[in-house]
Chain A
Amino acid sequence: MQLNTRQLSLIAGGLFPLTKLILLPSTLAHYTGRDLYLPALFLFLLEGGVLLSVLLLSSKTDKTFFELLSDTFGRVTARIVFGMFGVYFLFSALLPVYEQTLLLRSAFYDTIPSPLFFAVFYIVCIYFCLKPLRTFGRCADLLVPISSVALLLLFALSVSNADFSALFPLFQTPAKDVAFTTLRSMPRFLDCAFPLFFLGHFKYEKGTTWKVMLSFLVGALFVLLFLGTFYAVYGVIAPGKASAISKIGRYFPGVDLIGRIDLLLIYLMSGSYFLYLMLPFWLSVQCLKTCFQTKDEYDVFYAVGINLFVFILYFFLHYTIVHFEKFVSVYFFPVFFLFSYLIPVLAWTLRRKHA
């Protein structure tokens, strides 16, 4: 087995929240103001439900998702579905990957870095794409504890500057705006589809479901607290702070004496963040490989092709990331909903027992 319960829990609790701490807080603050946690809460509930469904499914079968599909609909259909997921993961990776630019501009560089600098990410990503799932689990073992400590410290630095009265009165945003923002923020809550592709690659043990769900809950609570604190620190100017995580701790009183210690914490956290950004690329490679039924030695072509495509696309988009984010969020949420929420739940209808 390539993953174990502990690693799944670390992924759900320690990696799922990371992509939600960059552009999402300012976007939510822009549309829902001090109620920014409400859309996030709804999406977490939705995501949690899908995750629970996949975990329960894993308790009923030891088949992989591909086996489930092919046993129900035949191999050809299963390959087509995997091909669609291959493209979907690639597409879903675009926004978080491009979002990292905002973090980099804010936390890693004083000036806007050359787009060429990002080639390093894709080089490491190609290497990662050629590794087995076990590598991802072990990386989570090592990096999640480090990033969790870094995030907690960062959170502690920011609390001293937070004015939590800015969050009151509660529930002032009209329901329509909350619903719109919920749909709009969906591209940041697509993690629940990933465990579907871990099916058959981890051994379901007694307690796996509640351990992973508890871990997910802790991660979700952290994000909600982070959102609240972010708004409590910046108040009405929060929508202007695009890279929330690099802004939240910058007013720590000791900064003059010891430098931007919050940045050091972000660097510690970013190992996990970059790793997690690479997961959709890895999944895309695996899906396309399954779709075309190619041998392992050809993985390198998928990995290079996918990364090169995203990198080239970045050259055209790197000045318009905010517009790109709006475009993807507004027009593509049905696609996200289908692949990340509906299909994982519908997987219950597939033939779980061995013929």
Chain B
Amino acid sequence: MKTSLAENRTAMKKELPSEDILSFRFHTGSGIECELFYADGIVDKELMGTLVINPLLRYRGDAEEKALFEALAFPELKCVKSEQEAVSAILEGNPVLFADGVSSGFVLGTKKVPQRAVTEPQTELVVKGPRAGFIEELKTNMGQVRLRFKTPNLRFETLQIGKQSKTSVAVCYLSGIASKKVVQEVKKRISAAEIDAVPDSSYVSRFLCPGRPSLFKQVNTTEKPDIFCARIAEGRVGILVDGSPVALTVPYLIVEEFQSPEDYFVNPYRATFLRLLRIGVLLLAIFLPALYVAAQLFKMQLIPLSLLLTIASSIQGLPLSPSLEVFVTLMVLEILNEASIRMPKYVGLALSVVGALVLGETAVNAGILSTPAVILIAFSGIGLYTVPELIETTSLLRLITLFVAGSVGIYGIVLFALFLVIYLVGEERYGSPILAPFAPIVGNDLKDSLVKFSMKQLKERPRAIGSANRTRLKEE
């Protein structure tokens, strides 16, 4: 950094030629020439005027770094000595003040990003429990976590990734509770990421679990600070990404998908029932269409006689084979699902009418599809959403199982399920087997798995995560 303002100005203009980088030139009360460089649109100009420009207009001292620093009396103020630091600060939204005769720049923390209010995320609605959600602004999200952990043990370590985007990524954990090994590994993997831009946290998740892509989730996500904090408290490591309302947590265990935040607000019996319901319905939703096809094609005895007669009468004269019929119905459901997410809301009602009446009832009346197949697929479609976070995986599994059932029958379904088990038991995320606490069985962790014990009995943190401090609840 030069002492001459003119030279610093030239350097900044050269480094930041973009039109949205503005500068404001003024003189202090003692006549020192100053210039503020800032990125338009992400700076709080009012704050800049009140806390930076006004005090300097009244400043009567000399052009000295220390005196100017004291005159500014701004809470988030720091000096930078290199051009590169000044450029980075401006691009992050913090204006940099240069004064003629001073060989450093003053970084002013008046960043103001346009942000939406903290609202309930649409993907994680709850009947009981906190409604706040993360937003796109990293600082606000960090603040929401800090509000829930008023302890010095809560650590945020901010890294930057993205050669062009320079996105801030905060690694968040509870010191003394999270495994040091996992924290180190997360930081190492994020730092090693070489990517141009990071528009969303999903980009970061790819780097958190390198290696072969998996059909199953590698990293867990949440948009709710209460869930995020609960996972951090269990000993996991969280990752917040600037510009994304979706926070990441590692290590990921499949059992997390069956745990809803509400389970902790209702009584344990109800919670256990709901968890069993979720896993039961999910398995049915994946395997029922396949079993229906396999039973029709290979083992009719599976279906009770009276039901078999009903099915026989409804499939009579159908032009499609059972597997093709179910496949077509399933594809119609997938298409409706995909379209309903993307189409404007005002045509949503029309879609419901077309989907339910035209494609459903009319197809049955026309003799293209049978009523049992439509009922079955409707149930399966709804059933998968009992565990919505797994929908990407489960809908694909349902299709594969259907294909196997149509080709090899129930034998194929069982072997495919066995293949999945063999695959999943070998999968580990940061040293934690994703099927824990079921495979391997971790006795302590079973208390908060399919069966939900009362809070008083959950004395230890999940062992499968490898927390540094196992005790969650001290004996009374």
Contact = CB atoms under 8 A, between A and B. Distances in A.
23 contacts: A4-B440, A7-B440, A110-B301, A113-B298, A113-B411, A117-B408, A117-B412, A120-B404, A120-B411, A124-B418, A128-B422, A134-B426, A135-B426, A138-B425, A138-B426, A138-B435, A141-B438, A142-B421, A142-B435, A259-B304, A267-B410, A271-B414, A271-B417
Nearest to B294: A108
Interface in B391-417: 404, 408-415, 417
A270 B414 contact: yes
A142 B279 CA distance: 15
A7 B417 CA distance: 20
B445 to A, nearest CB: 13
Interface size class of B (residues with CB under 8 A): 20 to 34
Given A109-B298, A120-B411, A137-B440, A142 B418 contact: no
B433 interface: yes
B299 interface: yes
Contacts of B304: 256-259
B422 A260 contact: no
Given A124-B422, A131-B426, A259-B304, A141 B439 contact: yes
B473 interface: no
Given A138-B439, A257-B304, A263-B301, A108 B425 contact: no
Given A108-B409, A113-B411, A267-B414, A143 B421 contact: yes
B350 interface: no
A108 B422 contact: no
A117 B425 CA distance: 26
B302 interface: yes
B300 interface: yes
A339 interface: no
Given A135-B425, A141-B439, A142-B439, 4 more contacts: A120-B411, A141-B441, A143-B421, A274-B414
Contact of A108 (B307, B411, B421): B411
A286 to B, nearest CB: 16
Nearest to B443: A6
Contact of A260 (B301, B404, B419): B301
Interface in B348-375: none
A259 B408 CA distance: 21
A328 interface: no
B409 A117 contact: yes
B410 A110 contact: no
A275 B417 CA distance: 11
Contacts of B414: 267, 270-271, 274
A22 to B, nearest CB: 15
Contacts of B408: 117, 120
Interface residues of A, number: 37
A117 B411 contact: yes
A109 B435 CA distance: 32
Nearest to B417: A271
B415 A124 contact: yes
Contacts of A267: 410, 413-414
A132 to B, nearest CB: 8
Contacts, number: 99
Interface string A135-170: 101110111000000000000000000000000000
A137 B51 CA distance: 66
A259 B298 contact: no
Nearest to B308: A259
Interface string A172-194: 00000000000000000000000
Contacts of A135: 422, 425-426
Contacts of A234: none
B415 A264 contact: no
Contacts of A259: 301-305, 307
A271 B418 CA distance: 6
Interface in A86-113: 104, 107-110, 113
A236 B182 CA distance: 64
Interface of B: 298-305, 307, 404, 408-415, 417-419, 421-423, 425-426, 433, 435, 438-441
Contacts of B441: 6, 141
Interface of A: 4, 6-7, 104, 107-110, 113, 117, 120-121, 124, 127-128, 131-132, 134-135, 137-139, 141-143, 256-260, 263-264, 267, 270-271, 274-275
B411 A275 contact: no
With most chain B CB atoms within 10 A of its CB, the pick from A117, A131, A138 is A138
A264 B418 contact: no
Nearest to A128: B422
A257 B423 CA distance: 37
Contacts of A120: 404, 408, 411-412, 415
Contacts of A109: 298-299, 409, 411
B463 to A, nearest CB: 14
Contacts of A256: 304-305
A297 to B, nearest CB: 16
Nearest to B410: A108
A121 to B, nearest CB: 6
With most chain B CB atoms within 10 A of its CB, the pick from A6, A108, A131, A264 is A108
Contacts of B411: 104, 108-109, 113, 117, 120-121
A110 B308 CA distance: 15
Contacts of B410: 108, 267
Nearest to A263: B302
B425 A142 contact: yes
A187 B440 CA distance: 31
A121 B298 CA distance: 17
A108 B440 contact: no
Contacts of B409: 108-109, 113, 117
A137 B438 CA distance: 12
A151 to B, nearest CB: 15
B409 to A, nearest CB: 6
A131 B302 contact: no
A257 B425 CA distance: 37
A109 B302 CA distance: 10
Given A113-B411, A264-B302, A275 B433 contact: no
B164 to A, nearest CB: 39
A134 B440 CA distance: 9
B209 to A, nearest CB: 19
Given A108-B409, A124-B415, A139 B299 contact: no
A24 to B, nearest CB: 21
Contact of B440 (A121, A127, A141, A260): A141
A256 B412 CA distance: 26
B422 A131 contact: yes
Contacts of A107: 299
A127 B418 CA distance: 11
Given A108-B298, A117-B409, A264-B302, A139 B422 contact: yes
Given A120-B411, A120-B415, A127 B299 contact: no
Contacts of A127: 419, 422-423
With most chain B CB atoms within 10 A of its CB, the pick from A120, A124, A132, A263 is A120
Contacts of A258: 304
A128 B414 CA distance: 15
A274 B419 CA distance: 10
With most chain A CB atoms within 10 A of its CB, the pick from B301, B411, B413, B440 is B411
Contacts of A134: 426
9 smallest A-B Cβ distances: which pairs? Answer: A138-B425, A142-B439, A259-B304, A138-B439, A141-B439, A108-B411, A260-B301, A141-B441, A124-B419
